[in-house]
Amino acid sequence: HPTIVWLRDDLRVADNPALRAAVDRGRPVALLYLLDEVSPGIRPLGAASRWWLHHSLAALGADIAERGGTLLLRRGAAETELPRLVDELGAGAVLWNRRYGGPQRRVDAALESTLREAGLEVQSFQANLLVEPWTVTTGEGNPFRVFTPFWRACLAKGAPRDPVEAPASIPGVGGVAGDDLEDWALLPSHPDWAGGLREAWAPGEAGAHYRLDSFVTDGLDDYAKGRDEPGTDSTSRLSPHLRFGEISPFQVWQRTQRGDLSADAEGNVGKFLSELGWREFNWNILFHFPDLHERNFRSEFDAFPWETPAPPVLQAWRQGRTGVPLVDAGMRELWQTGYMHNRARMVVASFLVKNLLVDWRVGEKWFWDTLVDADEASNPGNWQWVAGSGADAAPYFRVFNPVLQAARFDPRGDYQRRYLPELGTDAYPDPIVDVKASRAEALEAYDFVRRGD
Ligand code: FAD
């Protein structure tokens, strides 16, 4: 009776507790990835995420084959496809690493009971979050809504466990067929817009560890300051690797604790780990508030008088032609590379929500489609943070002024010039809004929410 490992957001062989436990059972192991776009409530992946997934699965398939195992690709609703594979293989156990989104948890819980009733062993593991949401609460037993006490409580639990070693070999199964990755058509073809993504990224476990190592040796020593400057490459760029689980937060954590860091790097570790903490915080919020991308976390924002943007206005924002350089540089970085620096993300989001008065959900959707790190918790969590409607959000009246932000964080204009070659020529457009006047309008609209009239 073979063991099935059902892979989801954990596309790695190292520090994969479900895989490790399956190999330790001593039976043949089938690794399954199911492309499930049909189960109720599951949010279909955006285009950039599909691109990433394709390459990540290709890399994982090769890593597994090297160890003698097989990665099986199947497509369809998990509740029918997983039991189907169990039957085909006569499997005796199904193992997976836990997920934390609402619809995903429903699917997993239903499968767990169906499979158990059928006499299978089912086991799940903690792999993708340092702290599982139900294990940290306030003194009163409630979920945290504020980051600082949340992270303090997480740290008080002690150092996270050590990563689990990758199995040297994986005993494979025969006699079952999976889909051909190419047939899933995850890659763009007409047109192929992914050239910039190919240049910028190396999806897969090896690429993730390469990033982590180069960041720890070259970027960490200036992280606390450098992370705010989009023109310097001072951040780790681990976000898409973490999103797809090509690397785990346990591995990232451990890499910063080895004692081989420079004194400067050592001094920046706490700040870096607290950013991982924001990832944990957003998942913690999503766990308790599963429709985070659809609903305001703070319901008083339901009354906000958003404007319906004219299509050309929205198009200008999406294409990076608003005439506001830091906004445009960010939006073009996103379009070209599937990524945007965090400082620019805050500025473009604030511009959409507070200068163009567009509902944050419109921006969240665009990011969901175009970011390679589009994350079910961190994307809506951060959009709501900027909009002021989120947990522990920036106050609504804090409007990022994109001109001052540029002067402060990209003073030499390196980032803006990198993405806006026409800056300073007639080809560069005039601003589509008056930043100052629109800010005043946004604050009036906010008053309307506060007064509740
Ligand atoms: P580093 O600075 O090296 O940070 C290390 C890791 O910490 C990141 O890889 C990420 O996993 C985590 N992290 C850092 N900042 C945050 C944060 N604010 N919230 C949650 N986790 C964080 N991040 C995503 O991973 N997916 C998203 O879909 C996403 N959408 C965003 C939307 C908006 C409007 C904003 C303002 C931010 C968003 N972020 C999102 C957070 C942040 O911008 C990215 O995580 C960060 O830029 C990734 O770059 P990095 O890996 O070099 O980060």
Which entry of 184, 275, 401, 441 is annotated as an active-site residue?
Answer: 275
Distances (CA, A) of 99 to 102, 109, 137: 9, 11, 19
pLDDT digits (tens, 9 = 90+) for 218-272: 999 999 999 999 999 899 999 999 999 999 999 999 999 998 999 999 999 999 9
pLDDT digits (tens, 9 = 90+) for 375-399: 999 999 999 999 999 998 888 888 8
Determine the distance separating the centroid of ligand 1 and the alpha carbon of 343, expressed in angstroms: 10
Distances (CA, A) of 436 to 256, 351, 431: 43, 11, 12
Q: Band the pLDDT of 292: cuts 50, 70, 90.
A: very high
Q: What per-residue confidence (pLDDT) applies to 452?
A: 59
Residue 453 has pLDDT above 60, yes or no: no
CB of 235 closer than 6 angstroms to any ligand 1 atom: yes
CATH of the domain spanning 129-162+205-288: 1.25.40.80
pLDDT digits (tens, 9 = 90+) for 403-436: 999 999 999 999 999 999 999 999 999 999 998 8
**What pTM did the predictor assign?**
0.97
**Share of residues in the chain with pLDDT > 90 (%):** 92
Return the structure tokens found at 53.
Answer: 């997934």
CB of 337 closer than 6 angstroms to any ligand 1 atom: no
Determine the distance separating the centroid of ligand 1 and the alpha carbon of 373, expressed in angstroms: 8
CB of 366 closer than 6 angstroms to any ligand 1 atom: no
Q: What per-residue confidence (pLDDT) applies to 308?
A: 92
Domain 299-451: top CATH class? mainly alpha
Domain positions in the chain are 3-128, 129-162+205-288, 299-451
CB of 331 closer than 6 angstroms to any ligand 1 atom: no
Give the mean model confidence (pLDDT) for residues 108-135: 98
Residues shown for the chain? 453
Could you please report the per-residue DSSP string of 177-195?
Answer: ----GGGG--S--SS---H
Q: Residue 439 half-sphere exposure, CB side, CA atoms within 13 Å?
A: 12
In angstroms, rounded to a whole number, what is the distance separating the alpha carbons of residues 425 and 385? Answer: 35
Q: Are 128 and 39 in contact (CB under 8 A)?
A: no
* Closest residue by Cα to residue 103 from 290, 281, 297: 290
Q: Whose CA is nearest to atom 33 of ligand 1?
A: 382
ipTM of the complex: 0.99
Q: Residue 196 half-sphere exposure, CB side, CA atoms within 13 Å?
A: 15
- Please state the CATH superfamily assignment of the domain spanning residues 3-128 in this structure: HUPs (3.40.50.620)
